[in-house]
Structure formats: structure tokens, C-alpha cells
């Protein structure tokens, strides 16, 4: 098996262990060599190691003849949109570890279409990285780095084009609390909301790579501060972002924080009611509430492997305009075929304005199912055995084998058994109408998986 650098979300590693300036320089050589130099934009999120790694990466890129534009501190969708809009750029690199803990950082390679590159491109870069046969540029041909001061303004201008400004500005002044979680969403999203006359309050707004107040991954169970602030200020909604601003979770006016599949379904249903949305793309892990809500509206639900780029590619293939992930990623094709927390926020706000409803009412309409996520240890070479055994044992049930195996028991009850792409574990997800039922299923299937693993039969 060939050596790999890239996982589900580009390259990620712990700074000072696998991720050193030396590694970043060599990655710069490899990325630049693969693209035969070319012109690219490089940006970074607010992690403490960002400047060091971005500088090293840029040195490597320049060394093999690339033309580098430096976007500095940006959110990931800001850089992606910039690469998409500038016809002279061949690609982009974002220095980010998204929602991972502060000791991590990483690199995400973006194609000229603004979307994370497919695995083939990553393979090509890996080959260059490990072969180390780099052709260095002669001194006369090395280019100067050019700064991009306005990536954020372009991004905001483009988002505002997608929104019905008259609709969202009408109906009295509304109030929102934003929790960028010390990440880079703060550079653009508050201005977008001020642009549509919202009263904006911000918590955890200073960019800080140590993420002092909450983890960079927003989850309903770590957003108490946001919930409190929404209630105390009487706001219409709250929004929390991950470290690089491509994911958004929403808090309703009563202070309840919802997972991203609920907001994703709500936006899909809104677009369907407007006659704009014929199909919606979402990974295999999102709630069955997706089909239960959207299919009666005439929307086809298309499921993919876990990983936002698979949602992007499928949307492009099917011409779908909306896709989402349960972690808060929302993809709106007319803007960008990639996750964008700012765009997702604006779409939800347009829904509230046009339908004149409170957010809690919108979310309450969606069937409430319960998911339980658990995992068990499993060595990579044993994964296949476990999946195969479950497929056989539950052969009389409806199964989906897009990513691991998903076994259906009812239209609102399923289990997904899926090997991790990055760790020696198998993830077991269950969903059911009652919380207890989902919990019991998770327990039973974990036990069954352990039994399969410990059985001598191979």
C-alpha cells in the first residue's frame, strides 16, 4: 500500500510532531510540482501555528516556481470563493485544521472550481511528496508573493447577491448572537448581518488559536454560552461556527441549539416550497427526518459517503442546489459547491424573513428522531470482516452500502456500521424515534460487533 498524507479532510496533524515547518516546505514543493508551478491563493485560519506553516508552505511553493497570492487570515469558504472567482488562479491551499483541537493544523487543497480536490489529485501530490524529485526554480524566475487584502469583501459581496435583500431587511429590526468560537468566521459574518440591518452581538469573537472558551467544534452540548446569551438578549437566533467558518449550528429564540441536519432539512424544505429545489444531497449519517420531511415536498434525497467533498461532487453531478451535513455544513450551489457557514446563515435568515416564523417553530415541524453515536476499537484489517458479517446477519433487512453498512428497521429506525477513515475504530450510529430505543440499539450492535471481532472464525 502506498504511503498516504491526506485523509477525509485534507492533511491533518499535530504541530511539532508530524506537522513541522520542514514538512510544510516539502509539501509546498510537492503541491507546486504537481501543479507545475501555476498560480494559487494561500490562506490560513486563526491557529497559533498558522503563520509558521503558511510561511513554510509558501517558501516551498515559490521554490518550485508557483505564483503565490497570500490571503492571510480568512475563513475556509472565503478562500474557496476567492479561488473560484479569480479566473487566473489554478488552485488554492488553506492552512486549517477546521474543528480539530488547538494542537492540530493541516492543509486543504482547493481546485480552480473552489471545491476541495478529488482523491486523485491528492494521490498525485503524495507521489511527488514521497518521491522528492523536485525541480527547483532558478533564481531569476522566483516570483514575489502578492498580498490579497480583499478576499473577505469579495466573499461578502457574492453572498449578498444570493439573498433577497428586500425580504431580509423588512419586518422590523432583528437580533442575532454570533459565536465564532474564536475562529475566522468573525472576519465576515458579522458584517454580512449588519449589511441586512441585523443587530449583532458577538461572543468568543477574538481570533485565538488556543480556543480558550469552547472547543473549535460546535456541538449542541458545548454551546451553553450562546444559548444563555440568546435568551438573555431576547434575540431571534444564535449561530455558532467551527474554527474555519465552514460549519454553522443554530440556536432558536428559546435557547435550544440544534444539530445541522435539522437546519439543513429546514433550508431544503424552504427552497423546495419556493420551487427551487428538486434534490438534496446529504451523507449517509444524516437523520431519516430528511426523507420524512423532504420527500412529501417532491424532493429526491441523495445519500453519499461521509465527507463534504463527496456531497459537493454529487451535487454537481445531479445539478442539486442544496446539500448539507449533520455537523452543520451547508452547501448552496449557486454560491459555492462547498460548505459555507456564512451562506447557510443567510439562507436560514431569509427563510425566517420570508415565512415570518420563529426559528423554534420552523425546527419543531421536522420529525424529531434520536441519534446515538458510539465506537469500538477495530484494527484496519478486521474492518471488512465486521461489515461483511453484519451484511450477512441482517440480509433480510433493507441495506445501504454506500459507506460501511446501513441497516433499516423502519423508515425512522436504522443502524450504520462504518469504519473510520483515520483511526483504528468502527463507528456505530443508530437512529430511532425514542431515545431509549436508539440507545439500546447502539448498545446491542456494539456488543454484537465485539462478538464478531472476538470470534475465531475469519
Q: How far is the CB of 97 from Mg ion (least distance, A)?
A: 9
**317, burial (CB in 10 Å: exposed 0-12, middle 13-18, buried 19+):** exposed
Q: How far is the CB of 199 from Mg ion (least distance, A)?
A: 27
**Phi, psi angle pair for 433, to nearest 5°:** -70, -40
Q: Which residue is nearest to Mg ion (CB)?
A: 98
Q: Could you tell me which stretch among 91-99, 115-123, 367-375, 408-416 binds Mg ion (CB under 5 A)?
A: 91-99
Residue placing its CB nearer to Mg ion in the complex, 98 or 286: 98
Q: How far is the CB of 117 from Mg ion (least distance, A)?
A: 16
Among 207, 82, 227, residue whose Cα is nearest residue 157: 82
Q: How far is the CB of 243 from Mg ion (least distance, A)?
A: 6
C-alpha cell at 55: 510561511
Give the Cα separation of 273 and 43 in Å (integer): 37
Residue placing its CB nearer to Mg ion in the complex, 238 or 245: 245
Secondary structure (3-state) at 78: helix
Residue 396, Cβ neighbours under 10 Å: how many?
Answer: 6
Residue placing its CB nearer to Mg ion in the complex, 77 or 255: 77
Residue placing its CB nearer to Mg ion in the complex, 37 or 260: 260
- Which of the following is catalytic: 98, 263, 308, 312? 98
Residue placing its CB nearer to Mg ion in the complex, 29 or 259: 259
Give the Cα separation of 187 and 103 in Å (integer): 22
Phi-psi domain of 349 (left: phi exceeds 0; alpha: psi -120 through 50; beta: other): alpha
Give the Cα separation of 442 and 375 in Å (integer): 9
34 contact partners, CB below 8 Å, separation of at least 6: 121, 124, 125, 128
Where would I find the beta strands (DSSP E) of 215-351?
237-241, 248-251, 257-258, 279-283, 300-304, 322-324, 330-332, 336-339
Residue placing its CB nearer to Mg ion in the complex, 244 or 437: 244
CB 183, CB 50: distance < 8 Å: no
Interaction between residue 437 and Mg ion (CB under 5 A): no
Q: How far is the CB of 395 from Mg ion (least distance, A)?
A: 38
Interface residue with Mg ion, options 33, 49, 75, 98 (CB under 5 A) = 98
Among 431, 392, 436, 438, residue whose Cα is nearest residue 411: 431
**Phi, psi angle pair for 88, to nearest 5°:** -85, -5
Q: Could you tell me which stretch among 98-106, 232-240, 290-298, 301-309 binds Mg ion (CB under 5 A)?
A: 98-106
Q: How far is the CB of 125 from Mg ion (least distance, A)?
A: 21
Interaction between residue 326 and Mg ion (CB under 5 A): no
Q: How far is the CB of 418 from Mg ion (least distance, A)?
A: 20
Among 403, 391, 369, 402, residue whose Cα is nearest residue 449: 391
CB 288, CB 406: distance < 8 Å: no
Interaction between residue 45 and Mg ion (CB under 5 A): no
The DSSP bridge partners found for residue 91 are 40, 111
Interaction between residue 244 and Mg ion (CB under 5 A): yes
Interface residue with Mg ion, options 90, 217, 242, 412 (CB under 5 A) = 242
Interaction mask 136-175, Mg ion, x per CB under 5 A: ----------------------------------------
Interface residue with Mg ion, options 122, 217, 236, 246 (CB under 5 A) = 246
Dihedral, CA atoms, 125, 126, 131, 132, nearest 10 degrees?
60
Residue placing its CB nearer to Mg ion in the complex, 46 or 255: 46
Residue placing its CB nearer to Mg ion in the complex, 78 or 98: 98
How big is the chain by its Cα radius of gyration, in Å? Answer: 22
Interaction between residue 403 and Mg ion (CB under 5 A): no
User: Which helix (H) or strand (E) element contains residue 140?
Assistant: none
Q: How far is the CB of 184 from Mg ion (least distance, A)?
A: 10
Q: Could you tell me which stretch among 140-148, 243-251, 311-319, 350-358 binds Mg ion (CB under 5 A)?
A: 243-251
190-219 residues near Mg ion, rule: CB under 5 A = none
Q: How far is the CB of 238 from Mg ion (least distance, A)?
A: 19
Interaction between residue 290 and Mg ion (CB under 5 A): no
Interaction between residue 252 and Mg ion (CB under 5 A): no
C-alpha cell at 94: 488553506
Active site (annotated) includes residue 75: no
Residue placing its CB nearer to Mg ion in the complex, 185 or 405: 185
CB 387, CB 419: distance < 8 Å: yes
Interaction between residue 126 and Mg ion (CB under 5 A): no
Q: Could you tell me which stretch among 241-249, 287-295, 345-353, 399-407 binds Mg ion (CB under 5 A)?
A: 241-249
Determine the straight-line distance between the first and last CA of the chain, rounded to whole angstroms: 22
User: Where do contacts with Mg ion occur on this chain (CB under 5 A)?
Assistant: 98, 242, 244, 246
Residues forming the active site: 98
Amino acid at each position: 500500500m502506498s504511503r498516504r498524507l491526506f485523509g477525509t479532510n485534507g492533511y491533518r496533524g499535530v504541530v511539532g510532531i508530524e506537522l513541522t515547518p520542514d514538512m510544510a516546505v516539502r509539501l509546498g514543493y510537492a503541491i507546486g510540482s504537481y501543479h507545475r508551478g501555476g498560480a494559487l491563493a494561500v490562506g490560513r485560519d486563526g491557529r497559533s501555528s498558522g503563520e509558521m506553516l503558511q510561511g513554510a508552505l509558501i517558501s516551498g511553493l515559490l521554490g518550485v516556481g508557483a505564483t503565490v497570492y497570500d490571503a492571510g487570515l480568512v475563513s475556509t469558504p472565503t478562500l474557496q470563493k476567492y479561488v473560484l472567482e479569480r479566473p487566473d488562479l489554478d488552485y488554492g491551499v488553506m492552512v486549517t485544521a477546521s474543528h480539530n483541537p488547538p494542537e492540530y493544523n493541516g492543509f486543504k487543497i482547493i481546485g480552480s472550481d473552489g471545491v476541495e480536490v478529488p482523491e486523485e489529485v491528492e494521490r498525485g501530490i503524495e507521489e511527488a511528496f514521497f518521491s522528492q524529485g523536485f525541480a527547483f526554480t532558478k533564481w531569476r524566475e522566483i516570483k514575489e508573493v502578492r498580498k490579497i487584502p480583499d478576499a473577505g469583501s469579495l466573499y461578502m459581496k457574492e453572498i449578498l447577491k444570493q439573498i433577497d435583500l428586500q425580504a431580509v431587511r423588512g419586518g422590523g429590526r432583528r437580533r442575532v448572537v454570533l459565536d465564532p468560537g474564536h475562529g475566522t468566521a468573525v472576519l465576515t459574518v458579522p458584517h454580512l448581518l449588519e449589511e441586512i440591518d441585523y443587530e449583532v452581538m458577538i461572543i468568543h469573537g477574538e481570533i485565538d488559536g488556543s480556543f480558550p472558551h469552547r472547543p473549535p467544534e460546535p456541538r449542541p452540548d458545548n454551546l451553553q454560552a450562546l444559548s444563555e446569551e440568546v435568551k438573555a438578549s431576547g434575540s431571534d437566533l444564535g449561530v455558532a461556527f467551527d474554527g474555519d467558518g465552514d460549519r454553522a449550528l443554530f440556536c432558536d429564540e428559546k435557547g435550544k441549539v440544534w444539530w445541522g441536519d435539522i437546519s439543513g432539512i429546514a433550508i431544503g424544505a424552504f427552497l423546495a416550497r419556493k420551487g427551487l429545489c428538486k434534490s438534496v444531497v446529504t451523507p449517509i449519517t444524516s437523520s431519516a427526518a430528511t426523507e420524512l420531511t423532504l420527500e412529501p415536498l417532491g424532493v429526491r434525497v441523495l445519500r453519499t459517503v461521509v465527507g463534504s467533498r463527496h456531497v459537493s461532487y454529487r451535487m454537481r453531478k445531479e445539478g442539486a442546489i442544496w446539500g448539507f451535513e449533520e455537523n452543520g455544513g451547508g452547501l448552496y450551489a449557486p454560491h459555492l459547491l462547498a460548505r459555507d457557514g456564512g451562506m447557510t446563515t443567510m439562507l436560514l435568515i431569509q427563510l425566517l424573513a420570508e415565512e415570518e416564523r420563529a426559528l423554534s417553530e420552523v425546527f419543531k415541524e421536522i420529525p424529531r428522531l434520536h441519534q446515538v453515536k458510539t465506537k469500538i476499537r477495530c484494527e484496519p484489517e478486521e474492518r471488512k470482516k465486521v461489515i461483511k458479517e453484519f451484511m450477512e446477519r441482517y440480509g433480510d433487512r433493507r441495506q445501504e452500502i454506500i459507506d460501511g453498512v446501513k441497516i433499516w428497521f423502519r423508515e425512522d429506525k436504522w443502524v450504520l456500521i462504518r469504519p473510520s477513515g483515520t483511526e483504528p475504530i468502527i463507528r456505530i450510529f443508530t437512529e430511532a424515534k425514542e431515545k431509549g430505543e436508539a440507545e439500546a440499539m447502539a448498545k446491542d450492535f456494539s456488543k454484537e460487533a465485539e462478538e464478531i471481532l472476538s470470534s475465531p472464525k475469519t
